[in-house]
Structure 1
Amino acid sequence: MITEPAPAKLNLALHVRRRRPDGYHELETIFAFCRDGDLIELEPATDNAFAVAGPFAAALTGSAPAEPWADNLVTRAADAFTAEYRVDRAHRIALTKNLPIASGIGGGSADAAATLRALARLHRVPLDDPGLMTIAAGLGADVPACLRGATTIGRGRGDALEPVAGLPGMPVLLVNPGVPVSTGAVFARWDGVDRGPIGKDDLLTRACAGRNDLQAAARGLAPAIDAVLDLLTSAPGALLARMSGSGATCFALFDRETDRAAAAGAACARGWWCLETALA
């Protein structure tokens, strides 16, 4: 059995520069990863099988009867891996879904990336093999960053990656008001204004001076984001409070775990989903 974490992804800053001819948007973003998230467990099997458990399993699978190999990013990642590396065997994959879906923290992308890493470990494919990154890029714009799983500056679609020094151990609180937000709908509401690139200072300074250009559009679709940001921005000890990705999850960085815990208590009292964690 191979066990592989699928940590939550944060966009500490997300600058949308322009719309590309291929329909994607030119981005500059600071990817960071948390210590906690979903979990992939994988082992060889006679027939392919995929199962989901955890707090958000039902949100992912819906009310339809369970399928042995339902179509999703995890099974697509597995199929692409076996095709790329000519693996002639089946796998049993279990996903523990701890992160809310459609929430801007890379849940599906992180799960796909963790599946690729787990398969690479099982079949002794080096994690720096270029084929893995090729598969990741074909699965989605965030999957390459999630495959790497380290702090990076992402450009292009977000998949041209530049490693940078991170902020390991920094306390962070994730809060989601329980409202799923469509990435496509958020991008469709973006105002199209290029407000400039990410700066070149140290990471925390760059993040604090940056912005999330999708935040206003997401708040228009899900006004509950306003209340989350108000709480996090005013939380004692918060260094930075912002929405991640296309929302609706927001985060706050703290110097001290005690301040993070106090903010988590206030957020959880509102009935919101909260995750007290730290940057990896």
Structure 2
Amino acid sequence: MKDKRIVISVDIGGTNSRFALIDENFQIVKSLTHPTVLYKKDEFVNSIVESIREICSNSDDVVAISLGIPGPIGNKGHVIDLPNIHIQDIPLGEILSKEFKLPVFIRNDAEMACFAEAMLGHGKNYQRVFFITISTGLGGALVVNHSLKESPHEIGHTPYTFQGQTKFFEYFASGNGLSNLAKIYGLEIQNSYQFFKLVENNNTLALKTYEAWLQIMNDFLLFIKEHYHPDIYTFTGGVFNSKEVFWNDLIAHHQDLNLQVCYFDQNAGLIGAACYAFTSLDN
């Protein structure tokens, strides 16, 4: 009996990074999570190498390494910039290829997650699938007819003006951005989980911030609708740990749009990276 192929799938986040062995049935065989190293380039790279070594130490069926990275990627898996990790210019594809002697696939993390939703998840029966992640940052990607060729570049960094401040959507609407938004209303928060707990408890300042956040998300979705014309929008990210607070309100603001929580939820990035690797190897 032929052994199943395994991909080492990696989802780098602004807070934590996840590593998994995923088989051809897209089952997670093994996984681990480590805090993401910030600011220090060499330590960041070493942490990825050591985590890959750790997770594949007893597997002889690994055929590729595939990573989703929260930033723009150049040729040969060259990481151009990781805004929320505060590191730039890493020839990560070459480093990993040399270290592990395996094919290495690297794309933006939102693109990898979108690929999972378009190929295997809620978007598999649609032509234009838009994926949105609301976590440390705010990201998005587009798959058209199972291709990432038309996917936007760092959509969360699209310029946006709110109450006279011209920043970008991510600055106000991401998990970290909620802290910036809350300050406008005189509210100090530590993280999005705390913020949505305050909303649940009807804190006056939190409710004002929440209404502003819904409006900003409304503008973000309208921007996507006008420029990319998705058939379906799928969502995930760390902020969705509090989705019971806001999801119904978000849907109510957009009854004309097909909004869905990701089929793979928090595993969309890992599954997408594996799916992208298997698809690339087979083509």
> TM-score scaled to structure 1, two decimals?
0.28
Considering fraction of residues, name the structure with more helix: 2
Q: Point out which structure has higher relative CO (alpha carbons under 8 A, 6+ apart).
A: 1
